[in-house]
Structures are given as C-alpha cells and as structure tokens.
Structure 1
Amino acid sequence: MCRFLTYSGPKALMSPLIFQATNSLVMQSKYAQKRKVPTNADGFGLGWYPTQDDPIPATFVNVDPAWSNRNLKMIAEKVETRHYFAHVRDASKGMPVSQANCHPFGCMHYLWMHNGRLDQFEKFRRPLLNMLTNRAFDLIKGNTDSEYAFALFMDKLGFIANASLSQLEQAMEATIETIMLLRKEAGADSNAFINFAVTDGYHTLVTRFATLKEAKPASLFFGQGIISNNNGMIDFTPDTSNSACIIICSEPPTENNGRWTKVERNHIVCASGHESVYQRPVNLPFQAELG
C-alpha cells in the first residue's frame, strides 16, 4: 500500500510537508511508520492547483523513488499553491511500475488518489469495466484498481463540473457501494483496503475503509492548523483562523502526533477549502450484511 497527503490552505510551497518535516512524505517513502512494509519506492506523484485563474490542476508523476528525483525537489521548493495532492506508491502485487499507474489521476478539475488495494481485483475487473460509460472507460490509461475506481467515481458523479460537497459525498459512497456489490457477486471475499481521496480544488474527501469487520483499514489522520519552521524544524499548531490550513494524511508529518486527529474505521473526512473539516461514518445500507 501507499502513503499520501492533501493540503488546503494559504498559498505556500510544498516542500515543508514533502521534504522538510520530520516524517515528511519523502521520509515515508523510505521509512513509513504506520505500515508493516516501510518502503514506498514504486513511483510518486504531485497534483497542484495553479495560483493564477486556472481551475485545471498540474500533475507531475514518475516511477523513480521520491527521494531520488531532483525535479520533485525543485518543484516542491519553488512552486506555490493553495491546494495539492501528493502520493508515494508501493505497487500492489502484479501491478506494473509505470507512469500511467502513478497517482494522482485527473479528470477535468478533479484529482484522485488511493492508498490500499481492491483485493482479488481480477475477479471483478471485467464486470466493472462493462458498467462504465464510454467517457469513464476512456479515462483509464493504466491498469491499477485505483484508476478503475476513479473512472467509476466520475460516472457516479455524472462528470458534474460544479459538484457540491453533498454530491461528492454521495458519489464517493456510491462508488464504494458498487465496488462492494461487484466483489460480492464475483466471490471476492478477502479484505479490500479503500482509502480513496478526491478533490475538486476546493472540497476534499478522503475515506478510511476496510470491507471486512476484522480487518484494520490503512492509517489516516487530519489536522487544521498552522505550519511553521522553527530553526529548520517543521511544526504544526492547531488553529482555525484564516491563516490555518487543513492537512489529511496517511501519517502525521510532524512529531507532535497529539495534534492530529485519527480518522475512525469506515469513516470519511470532508474538508471545504481550509475553513472546515469533519469526519463521519461512511453510509452504506448493506455494509453490515457484507462486512
């Protein structure tokens, strides 16, 4: 599985969270603290929204380990943005390491990431493909379960250009519901780890979800506060003022873990810009039956 983080806040460089923090995303690509296999070296990706009047995000992905790519460091140190996604990949068994398989994936002004795996994907890949519209089918350039899930999400959203937070939430839950139904019909009875993240450049939604009751979902945290640099030490102080940012992450990037909120099992985190963030249970009518 992978590691990722999202940032929404005042205009800032990406390097503090990606490179400089004690448990930065690049550090997690080598020594992840909250997963059994600590290395995430099968590529990386950035997606960020320009500060000029342009709603379409830029993306930069590569198959290098995040710690060895000089262009990643240059972009993180020089490009300012108010909203970005960052991801380091640990490819699932059987999934090729290629640029087409690196997150985040994009469509219109939406970005998508996944930490986890849809176990036994080969059993329900074809049924999932068969239900996609042509527009969603044409989105798929690689062969990861993550990108297929994004195509399904865009269909559930109806490719709406100006979706509300409620519409994004409904599409996310409908995506998980459909995946679980497809898995049940195909006899995929092992656990699926579903930490999906999606943004439209303002709203951000991230799930922490496992399909089996006895399974522990991949880690997820969030915080609202101010990032500061104290003599080279990146700190995070809880705050809800206009100067604050909202970060949703697989692991807290700073040492003061008590300042981060752990996302509960089978919950979804919803953020609106850098103004508000909350978590709530994922609402699936048949969840108890399947879990």
Structure 2
Amino acid sequence: MCRHLAYLGPARPLAEVLTDPPHSLYRQSWTPSVNADGFGVGWYPPENGAGPVRYRRAVPIWSDANLPGLAAVLRSGAVLAAVRSATPGTSHDEAASAPFALGRWLFSHNGAVPRWELLPADTGEPLTAAELLGLDARSDSALLWAMTGRRLTAGLPPGEALADIVRTTAAARPDARLNLLLTDGSTIAATRHGDTLWYRRRDETEVTVASSPVPGERGWHEVPEHSLLLAGRTTTDVEPL
C-alpha cells in the first residue's frame, strides 16, 4: 500500500510535515512496509497565493539527496505528499507518483484497483480520447484522478466527487481499495474505503490527515471504514459514504 498525508494550517517548513516527526511520511516509506516506487509532494507557496507546486521522483524518498535541503527551507500552510508502492502492471516513471494536479487541485490515491484498465467500460464511464491521452501515467491512480477531475470540472463539490468515485468504482470492483485524498489548499476531502485513515486537529487552526497516526501523539482520530472526511483549518466533518 502507498502512504499519504495532507496538512492545512500555519505556514511551516515542509520538513516539519514530511521528515521531522518521529513517524513521518519519510519513515513510513520503509516501515512498517516498503514504499520504494517513488514519492511526491505538492504545496502552495504562502508568499503570493500561487500554486500548487509539485516535486515528484521515481526513486525511494530516502534516496533523494535534494529533499532534506529543500524541505528545510520551503514553507507552506497547505501540503499534500505521498510515497508510492506501485500496483502491478502500472508505470514506474515519476509522472505516476502523486500528487496529481489540475488547476489548484492536488490528488492522491492510497490503495489498488484490480483490472483498472477496464474500469471506464465496466462503470459505464468511457473516457474521451483527449482524457486518455491526458493521463499522467499508466496507473490505477492516474485513471481515478481523470475520473475525479471530470467531476470537479463539471462543478461537483470535492466531497461529492470523491464519494461518487468510490461508489462507482466499488460497484464495479468490490475488492478495490479506495482511500482518496484531495485538496485545493483551503480544504481537504478524503475517503476511507479499504485502508486506514486518521486525522488530527491542533490549536483549532491546523489539521493533518494521514494514512497512519503518530504513535504516542495525542489527538489522532481514526476515520471509520467507508467514510468521507471533509476538513478545513477550523472545521472537520465525517460522514458515511
């Protein structure tokens, strides 16, 4: 399984989100399971409200000598990051690493979809030639992102877009694992369907959503299976999918 997280709160060095915590995403890349097929981080620079900016690699996060220095100096109040364990049959280039992007949206998928190549036909949602050619990579995650992006572009709110993707995909692939994570730099939408998902609030202005909690750190709440999480800097709502 992959691992991912999203953070909203006061601007801080990326290192405080990615590498410094004792059970950081960096550490989760090798324990408790190995996620060595790439990584990525997307953030929204606080200086000018621009973004998102992405840094993605097709190497294990621990082997990138540039990341520690970058994470120490780059700051943001909105971050989405992931480490990847590739689904068999998917591509291994850096474009296959989350986060995927569209406009101000960043997206990640933790899980796997069996026979994902046939998913559009099996869900009755064939992609156009332009959408297929526009896929970031040959992977289940990139395909789910294309389906999600279609809904966001049509004006569906982020929570509804993710919930609809989970329901549609699970109906065609009951054994699919579909933990999805989406942010526009102001809000976070996430689903738990098949793998674990947790969130933590701090100081009423900060929220972190992650695959796993930090052991021994207070304030983490587990999201129930088959649920949708909607979070802002000061609000959190969990509801059934």
Please say if residues 162 and 190 of structure 2, whose CA atoms lie closer than 8 Å, have aligned partners that are also in contact. Answer: no
Partner amino acid, structure 2, of 1:87? A
Give the Cα separation in 1 of the matches to 2:179 and 2:212: 13
Indicate the residue corresponding to 1:178 in structure 2.
168
**TM-score (ref. length: structure 1):** 0.77
Indicate the residue corresponding to 1:245 in structure 2.
206
Partner amino acid, structure 2, of 1:49? Y
Cα deviation, residue 128, structure 1: 6.3
- What stretches of structure 1 of length at least 5 have no aligned partner? 33-37, 210-216, 226-238, 283-291
Matches within 5 A, 1:102-181: 102-125=97-120, 131-133=126-128, 136-158=131-153, 160=155, 167-181=157-171
Give the Cα separation in 2 of the matches to 1:259 and 1:275: 15
Cα deviation, residue 63, structure 1: 1.1
The change in CA–CA distance for 1:133 and 1:52 in structure 2 (over 3 A counts) is farther
Matches within 5 A, 1:3-22: 3-22=3-22
Please say if residues 132 and 155 of structure 1, whose CA atoms lie closer than 8 Å, have aligned partners that are also in contact. Answer: no
Indicate the residue corresponding to 2:55 in structure 1.
60
Do structure 1's residue 222 and structure 2's residue 196 form an aligned pair?
A: no
Give the Cα separation in 2 of the matches to 1:49 and 1:193: 28
- What stretches of structure 2 of length at least 5 have no aligned partner? none
Query: Secondary structure at the residue paired with 1:27?
Result: helix
Indicate the residue corresponding to 2:36 in structure 1.
41
Give the Cα separation in 2 of the matches to 1:169 and 1:126: 24
Give the Cα separation in 2 of the matches to 1:140 and 1:126: 16
Give the Cα separation in 2 of the matches to 1:248 and 1:151: 23
Give the Cα separation in 1 of the matches to 2:236 and 2:65: 34
Matches within 5 A, 1:181-260: 181=171, 183=172, 188=173, 191-209=175-193, 217-225=194-202, 239-240=203-204, 244-252=205-213, 254-260=214-220
Give the Cα separation in 2 of the matches to 1:105 and 1:267: 22
Cα deviation, residue 132, structure 1: 2.6
Indicate the residue corresponding to 2:31 in structure 1.
31
Cα deviation, residue 126, structure 1: 5.1
Give the Cα separation in 2 of the matches to 1:207 and 1:69: 30
Report which of the two structures shows the higher radius of gyration computed on alpha carbons: 1
Please say if residues 5 and 86 of structure 1, whose CA atoms lie closer than 8 Å, have aligned partners that are also in contact. Answer: yes
Cα deviation, residue 135, structure 1: 5.6
Cα deviation, residue 124, structure 1: 2.5
The change in CA–CA distance for 1:135 and 1:82 in structure 2 (over 3 A counts) is farther
Give the Cα separation in 2 of the matches to 1:138 and 1:109: 21
Equivalenced residue count is 241
Query: Secondary structure at the residue paired with 2:66?
Result: helix
Please say if residues 107 and 139 of structure 1, whose CA atoms lie closer than 8 Å, have aligned partners that are also in contact. Answer: no
The change in CA–CA distance for 1:94 and 1:133 in structure 2 (over 3 A counts) is closer
Instruction: Choose from 80, 91, 102 the match for 1:85.
Output: 80
Indicate the residue corresponding to 1:281 in structure 2.
240
Give the Cα separation in 2 of the matches to 1:141 and 1:129: 22
Partner amino acid, structure 2, of 1:170? E
**TM-score (ref. length: structure 2):** 0.92
Deviations 1:41-86 (CA, angstroms, capped at 9, x unpaired): 1110000011123443000000111111122212211100010101
The two structures, once aligned, show a CA RMSD in angstroms of: 2.0
Indicate the residue corresponding to 1:285 in structure 2.
none
Please say if residues 15 and 68 of structure 2, whose CA atoms lie closer than 8 Å, have aligned partners that are also in contact. Answer: yes
